[in-house]
Amino acid sequence: MSEQRRPVKPSHAADLPVERRRPRVLFGRALLRRCPHCGAKGIFTNWMALQERCPRCGLQFEREEGYFLGAYAINLIVAEFLGFGIVVLLLIRGDLSVLQMQILAVVLAVGLPFLFFPYSRTLWMAIDLIVHPPRGDRRPNAR
């Protein structure tokens, strides 16, 4: 009589199967402004400018015209909801005047999309790598 074993719950990310670990790794790399595919540093030439390819793995970042439209949407949605949430929290808990709140709201509405811009691009590339993972020994930019 064989005994049925219950699957052991993984204790940390390294114990997870590759299929479940990969999104965590890709998003972690993206949030560090690294290449989501290989984790290389230095993919941005400055805060706003992304290199054409990854210096380590050769991943072509902008694969087609309009590739980063999804990144712009992510940037707008995250930055504006975050700014809105901060303003609402300050309205509830803060004692700022109406003018101060208006100034803060404008600064957040302009500043947060700028600050989040590089992260939105790397997050978009991570989402693309999850949806369209590289196959076998093909180069990551080959489709």
pLDDT tens sequence across 24-75: 999 999 999 999 999 999 999 999 999 999 999 998 998 889 999 999 999 9
Predicted local distance difference test score (pLDDT) of residue 2: 52
| Token pair recorded at residue 117 | 């811009």
The per-residue pLDDT for 52 is 94
9-18, 55-64, 118-127: which has the minimum mean pLDDT?
A: 9-18
- Concatenated DSSP letters for 22-70? HHHHHHHHHHTTS-TTT--S--BSSSSPBPSB-TTT--BS--STTTTHH
Distance between first and last Cα of the chain? 50
Cα distance between residue 93 and residue 124, in whole Å: 34
Give yes or no for a contact between 78 and 116, defined as CB atoms under 8 angstroms apart: yes
